[in-house]
Amino acid sequence: MNSVPRCRRGAGSGSGRPARRSSPLLSRPMPIQDPLQMLAQRFRGAIAAAYPQAADADPLITPCKSADMGDFQSNAAMGLAKRVGQKPRDVAAAIVRHADLTGIAEPLTDASIAGPGFINVRLKAAALRDALSSLDSASLGVEPASPAKTIVVDLMGVNLAKQMHVGHLRSPIIGDCLARTFERLGHSVIRQNHVGDWGLPIAMVTARIQQLAREGRIDLAKLTLDDLDTAYKAAQAECQRDVDGLAAAKRFGLGPKALAELEEQVNGATESFNAARQTLVKLQSKEPQTYGVWQRIYEVTMKVCLDVCRMLRVNVTAEHNAGESSYADELGPMVDDLIARGIAVPDQGALIIRLDDPPKGADGKPLWEPIKEPVLVRKSDGGFLYATTDIAGIRRRVQKFGASEGVYAIDARQSLQMKQVFAASIKAGYATHPKTGEIALLAHAAFGAVLGEDGRPFKTRSGESVKLADLIEETFSRAAKAVQSRDAELPASEARAIAEAVGVAALKYGDLSTDRIKDYVFSFDRMLAFEGNTGPYLLYAYVRVRSIFRKAAERGIGESWRRAAFPCEQAAEKQLALALLRYPAAVRGVADSLEPHRLCQYLYDLAGAYSVFFDQCHVLNAESETLRDSRLRLCDLTARVLADGLSVLGIPTVERM
RNA sequence: GCGGGCGUAGCUCAAUUGGAUAGAGCAUCUGACUACGGAUCAGAAGGUUAGGGGUUCGAGUCCCUUCGCCCGCGCCA
């Protein structure tokens, strides 16, 4: 991360956690077998009966933190106390008197009330069994959202002619995970790779490559991304020299000699600058020779980009490309529209959109938080800016694609820019859905920087930034060594696939498992550790479950377990069951918060609950075949939830490792 | 200068959005197995949640303030 990437989707850090979204459309009532929902219903009834004036109060049912307190608890009494003017414990007692938990939980008593007014609930085993049975379906309790929405996810964000590095890791990992989450919930997802492939800098590279090719110093057929990266930097340096020179000349009175040198520099730079301008004009008119070179540059860059996506098992392909160039012809007309409607106004020769006075919506609230800084959509020289393309992006995504939601997996440093673009699009009406008339929900899923173990931006020891493909390959080879060192007897034919799965798990889980807004420390050793909260550990947990079924097959145990009743007698069985039941809410939680680490935490908890179960409850050597079968069914459900959850994270599973 | 983000155990991170005794993993120490993958499980130790003030039944979480680190702030992309 030597420089701020041209394309704003690059690496970085900064600010801006989007407002938590209360999105009723994404939330859908659980099947009625979910104990949490059932308890909420019963407690709601109890509250309504005890306090009719507060019948709308939320029962606030949550799983208990500790098993010895109970299975679930209601935290409603404390909040209600103030509202009805009674002591919290008295309110709790009244709720307890009115609550009928028949068929779900043990009857409540005064002993169910704890502390200031927590009401603890213990489920009946039969209710738990029923709940597990209803979870044990193809959907694993994650029912399709209704209505399904069209959600655009902006992810990846590469720049033409620039080498991919560690800073490009987070957007595809986070964005793809969010996309998968939405897909899992039945929404229609459109991924967009907003490639930075247009504008003067790209024209400069194109001009330079053309020049080098003409001089025979470069073979277009053998062009590499490294060639392009070098050319880009050289071209940028020339441009910078020009800008710096002119600025300096204006600021200082220089001696004749210095001024002469400067002029020479500036003239040289201006020469290449003008060449770039001419190249841009040719590009815009798709002059064949120039455009061909540009296409070649595009191919070379995208090849690397899509290779990286394949290696990472990120679902981004060529069809998701929506580069800046694809908006080039839309910007002029769009800006004309903004002018005609008075959205954009002239200011000091440029064209801006003011964002400091948002109109109020139907609910009386401002359509966006006022932003002091206006956004520039056209420079005084007539050129368009980044924000202009981004606004066009929202227009296309909402107006053409019909998106009712747009999620941007982009560096947190772009926070202000994102807010401005969102606000400007809303102001222009581009974010208003053409059919429903509702304003699309626009969210910036901002993420922090990738740091090295020294706490500074991730680099090699020599200070170079690491090529992303090399970084991934190193992860794979380290994963291969780690797997080998456990001397498991693995077929050689599977070794590579296993190493890649473990590597992908390590990389993605390392990124996704912490709050994305924070910077995170990149460490091969930590992410590839097989102990603790890591991707490989979760894969291992899955492998260990699957291993039981291989062993069962060896012993000639059939599939009678598929019809067995779930076990909920032993503490470890019960805790595993309760953990499994939390799965659908965990997936929805990611969609609502745009925070993948919630699912990671859930899966780690689940794996932990399974480990305890595995330790305390023997499956294949259980006391009876009935118990064995019921435990096998519990194992099967665990494996499927683990695999499903990992797939939502974008992590493939393996059968052995 | 203005704005935003972050600050939690020695280290890396959580905390169901205001709920019970702030939880995990690593590292350290102590236990458990002739069984399903020990890549495991149980336990100990480790905290003035950067400091201070406030709001209330209750604050890591909300408000004010100080400090530290990072980031951003119209003609760059």
Domain residue spans of chain A:
35-129, 150-196+323-451, 200-310, 468-649
CA angle A509, A512, A513 (to 5 degrees): 75
| CB-CB contact of A291 with A282 (8 Å) | yes
pLDDT at residue A68, rounded to an integer: 85
Task: Determine the Cα–Cα distance for residues A335 and A566; give it in Å rounded to an integer.
Answer: 63
pLDDT at residue A17, rounded to an integer: 35
pLDDT at residue A29, rounded to an integer: 45
State the average pLDDT over residues A366-394: 95
Residue of higher predicted confidence among A241 and A360: A360
pLDDT at residue A32, rounded to an integer: 52
What is the nearest nucleotide to A656, using C1' and CA? B37
Q: From the CA of A532 to the C1' of B45: give the distance in Å.
A: 19
Q: What percent of chain A has pLDDT over 70?
A: 89
Q: From the CA of A594 to the C1' of B60: give the distance in Å.
A: 22
Structure tokens at A101: 């938990």
On the question of pLDDT at A178 being above 60, the answer is yes
pLDDT at residue A259, rounded to an integer: 55
- Amino acid whose CA is nearest the C1' of B32: A615
What is the nearest nucleotide to A384, using C1' and CA? B75
Task: Determine the Cα–Cα distance for residues A47 and A59; give it in Å rounded to an integer.
Answer: 8
What is the nearest nucleotide to A631, using C1' and CA? B36
Q: From the CA of A382 to the C1' of B33: give the distance in Å.
A: 76
Task: Determine the Cα–Cα distance for residues A632 and A499; give it in Å rounded to an integer.
Answer: 28
| Nucleotides of strand B under 7 angstroms from a protein beta carbon | 2-7, 12-17, 19-21, 24-27, 35-42, 56-58, 70-77
- Domain A468-649 belongs to what architecture? Orthogonal Bundle (1.10)
Q: What percent of chain A has pLDDT over 90?
A: 77
Q: From the CA of A174 to the C1' of B27: give the distance in Å.
A: 30
Backbone torsions φ then ψ of A154, nearest 5 degrees: -95, 120
Q: From the CA of A463 to the C1' of B45: give the distance in Å.
A: 40
Position A296 confidence tier, pLDDT thresholds 50, 70, 90: very high
Task: Tell me which CATH code domain A150-196+323-451 carries.
Answer: 3.40.50.620
What is the nearest nucleotide to A514, using C1' and CA? B13
Give one DSSP letter per residue of A328-350, joined into a string. HHHHHHHHHHHHHTTSSEEETTE
Q: Which of A387, A655, A422, A412 is nearest to A539 (CA)?
A: A655
The residue to which tokens 């001089």 are assigned: A215
State the average pLDDT over residues A211-232: 94
pLDDT at residue A484, rounded to an integer: 86
Residue of higher predicted confidence among A76 and A24: A76
What tens digit of pLDDT does each residue of A119-171 get? 999 999 999 999 999 999 999 999 998 899 999 999 998 999 999 999 999 99
Q: From the CA of A532 to the C1' of B11: give the distance in Å.
A: 14
What is the nearest nucleotide to A589, using C1' and CA? B16
- Amino acid whose CA is nearest the C1' of B16: A62
Task: Determine the Cα–Cα distance for residues A642 and A610; give it in Å rounded to an integer.
Answer: 10
Q: From the CA of A171 to the C1' of B17: give the distance in Å.
A: 25
On the question of pLDDT at A174 being above 60, the answer is yes
Lowest mean pLDDT among A23-37, A125-139, A267-281: A23-37
State the average pLDDT over residues A237-241: 68
What is the nearest nucleotide to A417, using C1' and CA? B72
- Those residues with Cβ within 8 angstroms of residue A78's Cβ, 6 or more apart along the chain or in another chain: A88, A91, A116, A117
Strand-pairing partners, residue A444, are A408
Position A26 confidence tier, pLDDT thresholds 50, 70, 90: very low
On the question of pLDDT at A376 being above 50, the answer is yes
pLDDT at residue A245, rounded to an integer: 52
What is the nearest nucleotide to A65, using C1' and CA? B20
- How does DSSP classify residue A582? T
Q: From the CA of A18 to the C1' of B62: give the distance in Å.
A: 18
On the question of pLDDT at A300 being above 90, the answer is yes
> At A235, which amino acid appears?
A
Domain A35-129, classified CATH 3.30.1360.70, yes or no: yes
Q: From the CA of A14 to the C1' of B59: give the distance in Å.
A: 26
Position A6 confidence tier, pLDDT thresholds 50, 70, 90: very low
- Amino acid whose CA is nearest the C1' of B17: A20
- Amino acid whose CA is nearest the C1' of B38: A615
Position A292 confidence tier, pLDDT thresholds 50, 70, 90: very high
Q: Is A11 helix (H, G, I), strand (E, B) or coil?
A: coil
What tens digit of pLDDT does each residue of A587-629 get? 999 999 999 999 999 999 999 999 999 999 999 999 999 999 9
On the question of pLDDT at A416 being above 50, the answer is yes
| Average pLDDT score, chain A | 89
Position A235 confidence tier, pLDDT thresholds 50, 70, 90: confident
What is the nearest nucleotide to A349, using C1' and CA? B75
Q: From the CA of A503 to the C1' of B21: give the distance in Å.
A: 39
CA angle A5, A423, A8 (to 5 degrees): 5
Q: Which of A386, A533, A512 is nearest to A450 (CA)?
A: A512
User: Which ipTM did the prediction report?
Assistant: 0.96
Residue of higher predicted confidence among A16 and A494: A494
Position A67 confidence tier, pLDDT thresholds 50, 70, 90: confident
Q: From the CA of A173 to the C1' of B26: give the distance in Å.
A: 25
Strand-pairing partners, residue A113, are A119
